[in-house]
Amino acid sequence: MKNYIFTLFVICSFYINAQTVNGIKLKDIPVKYVILQVQNKGPYDINITLDYGQMNSLKDKKGFIVDENEKRIKFNSPISVINFFEKKGFLLTTKMITYTPYYSLIFENSNYKNN
C-alpha cells in the first residue's frame, strides 16, 4: 500500500509541473512579468494565452498553455486561471481592460532569477 501511495504521489507531482508555453515550463519562463490574454467565449468557456515576449499577435499559437501531451489546458473561469498561476509562483499585479471580449491580466513571475 505504501508503494502504491508513493507511486501515485510521484505521478501527480510530474503532472503538476508539466505545463509549458512554447516548450518552456511555466516555472522556467525567463522574464519577471508576463501577461495573460483572456478571451471570454461563454459563461464557462474561456481561452487564454500567455505572453512573455514570444508572441506576435493575439492569435499566435506560441502562447497556449499545454500539458505534457501538447494539448491545450482549458480553464472554466478567470478565477481558475488566477488560482492556477498563483500555485505556479506568479503574483497577480493588475488587470487591464483592453477590449471586449478580451482583457489582460499581468502577473509577476516570482520564479524568475535575475542573472
Q: Between these two residues, 2 and 22, which has the higher pLDDT value?
A: 22
The Cα–Cα gap between 57 and 110 comes to: 25
Three-state secondary-structure class, residue 79: helix
Phi/psi of residue 50, nearest 5 degrees: -110, 125
Q: How confident is the model at residue 18 (pLDDT cuts 50, 70, 90)?
A: low
Phi/psi of residue 37, nearest 5 degrees: -95, 120
Q: Can you say how many angstroms the Cα of residue 53 is from the centroid of all Cα atoms in its chain?
A: 14
Query: Left, alpha or beta for 89 (phi > 0: left; psi -120 to 50: alpha)?
Result: left
Q: Is the pLDDT of residue 98 over 70?
A: no
pLDDT, one tens digit per residue, over 42-86 is 777 788 888 888 877 666 677 888 888 888 888 888 888 889 999
Three-state secondary-structure class, residue 40: strand
**pTM > 0.85:** no
The Cα–Cα gap between 101 and 87 comes to: 26
What's residue 115's pLDDT?
56
Among candidates 40, 9, 33, which has minimal Cα distance to 94? 33
